[in-house]
Structure 1
Amino acid sequence: MVALAGCVAPSAPPRTAMTAPAPPPAAPVTPPPAPLPGPVLTGERIQGGLIHGTAPAGTQIILDGKPVPTAPDGRFIIAFDRDAGPQATLIAILPDGRRQTETLAVAPRAWEIEELPIPKGTSPSPEFLRIRGEELRQIAAARAIGTDAAGWTQSFHWPITGRISGLFGSQRVYRGEKGAYHSGTDVARPAGTPVAAPADGVVILAADHPFTLEGNLLMVDHGMGLNSSFLHLSRIDVKPGDHVRQGQIIGAVGMTGRATGPHLHWSLKWRDARIDPLLLAGPMPAG
């Protein structure tokens, strides 16, 4: 074989470097939603007391096995009767389905008890019982009326100012037999003293004649099951269905019904619970 002058063997083609494909962008990670908070309660957990609550909108509230109405924004109220036990159970079913249970400790109170060494008295007559039964039916029917009143959201004011002559919860015991406890607060003032609405509300009962015990009775619903009763009035200035505003004059002090002197008996009730006006309106203003 003869080598050819000037001939150069062809070189191999250059190799191309292999580049790995870029990874696809990572999908954004969505953090799990924060758990909804449970109800927040404000107020004194005590016999005869009322507390306000706030929960996420759509939460179902249950107190001692009974559903509690809530506003669209999640606000609600609950109250404890004068004779409430030491504990209450509050259940909240949140919009996300979680169920929260809280045991509420209800503080007891030392009620004013008067022991009397005399018998309780004679039984009422059949005629009294007949009349009283109809009056109680009217009162129960009034309390069953639901209204759009929003007074339950307000700070309550005293309907009149003056000397407190009877305390909520006080009770007489006749030779060991308990009498009915005092269901409201009495304020002594002269007959004709104007009585103002302690909060916004709707009139649910304005008696057209004096009741046997309450006299001229006026009842105002403040919404969410909370209502006021004003007893022994000398006159009533509003009628059923009227919307009243806090501070509006609704009647006047008197001594109709079973009363030994002119005064206003103001009582408050949330559903079946009797509550203390003094805890809602605060100390009686001076003057």
Structure 2
Amino acid sequence: MLKSLLSTLVVALVSVNSFAVELKGHLTQGGLVTGKLSDAQSVSLNDTQLKLSENGDFVFGFGRDAKANHTLSWVDANGKKHTQELVITKRDYNIDKITGVAKKYVSPPKSVSERISREAVAVRKARAVNSDLTFFLDPVLKPAQGRISGVYGSQRYFNGEPRLPHFGLDIANKTGSPVYAPIGGTVVFAEPDLYYSGGTLILDHGHGITSTYIHLSKLDVNVGDKVKQGNKVAEIGATGRVTGPHLDWRFNWKGERLDPGLLMQDTLANKK
């Protein structure tokens, strides 16, 4: 699997050189790709216009079940339109079976449905931010020490009942273990007690890229705070729907769920 994913990175770098566009990243489901264009007026992926930085940087990503074929298009300084077809690889995902989850979390009572809906709207709003920050260009470091106990894309079964796929990378460690910002950003969401995810933190890294940290026992930052790579932002916990203490770490490009495991370098963020 690793060899296959590395090959998608190489293709992203070499397939469009003749069109004066630079791409770096993983052309695969769950992958994030950054790009650079000189003197472009605009750039789009399929029908979605991408934000361009002053230096011509942009970013996009592919969800867990993204289709294979995509079109990158841009308009140059002379008004001429260019297109580049992109083909991404399909991935196989793990199946996890978890028992011992309280029944109220597997099938929550109707009395909490309004709360769940309200919290979901708030999280979507936080992830809809589209700032001019460009921290997404920086290398992504490991946010916490611990054992990898869950991976992106896996289909989970709680007490034998199939649930939605898992969209994060789980890092298991004891409650109170520190969580560090893997790259710089601004806090756009910080709540200590959501029904499903418990203590929840969302950082904005620019151009629609956000990272999320859930099941936290403590939050050390507030909405509006600016954090640098390596800053302690929270502590691992066992809050919300969970069977044990761990960090569930997620990345989004707008509404697309990305794989933190493809981005993460194996260096703890505060040890850079």
- What is the TM-score normalised by the length of structure 1? 0.80
8 Å Cα contact 1:210/1:257 also seen in 2: yes
Matched, 1:137 2:128: no
Higher gyration radius (CA): 1
Question: Cα offset for 1:114?
Answer: 4.8
Q: Deviations over 1:144-174 (max 9, x none)?
A: 2343433111000010122100001000369
* Residue 66 of structure 1: aligned partner: 48
The aligned length equals 246
**One-letter amino acid of the structure 2 residue matched with residue 221 of structure 1:** D
- Amino acid corresponding to residue 237 of structure 1 in structure 2: D
Kindly provide the amino acid, as one letter, of the partner of residue 106 in structure 1: I
**What does 1:67-216 correspond to in 2, within 5 Å?**
67-114=49-96, 123-172=107-156, 178-207=162-191, 209-216=192-199
CA 152–112 in structure 1, closer or farther in 2 if over 3 Å, else same: same
CA deviation after TM superposition for structure 1 residue 103, in Å: 1.1
What amino acid sits opposite 2:204 in the alignment?
A: D
CA displacement, residues 209-240 of structure 1 (integer Å, 9 cap, x when unaligned): 41011101010000010001000111000000
Query: What amino acid is aligned across from residue 257 of structure 1 in structure 2?
Result: G
Residue pairs, 1:188-267, within 5 angstroms: 188-207=172-191, 209-267=192-250
Q: Distance in 1 between matches of 2:131 and 2:167?
A: 23
Letter in 1 for 2:31: G
Give every structure 1 segment of 4 or more consecutive aligned residues whose post-TM-superposition deviation is greater than 4 Å: none
Contact 2:189 2:200 in 1 (8 A): yes
Equivalents in 2 of 1:97, 1:191: separation in Å?
56
RMSD: 2.4
Instruction: Please state whether the residue corresponding to 1:139 is helix, strand or coil.
Output: helix
Q: CA–CA distance in 2 between the matches of 1:53 and 1:59? A: 14
Q: 2:28 aligns with which of 35, 38, 46?
A: 46
The aligned amino acid for 1:197 is A
> Percent identity among equivalent residues?
35
What TM-score, normalized by structure 2, do the two folds share? Answer: 0.84
Q: Give the strand-richer structure, 1 or 2.
A: 2
Q: Distance in 1 between matches of 2:210 and 2:83?
A: 28
Is the deviation greater in 36-45 or in 191-200?
36-45
Structure 1 counterpart SS, 2:111: helix
SS in 2 for 1:232: strand
Task: Give how far 1:178 is off.
Answer: 5.0
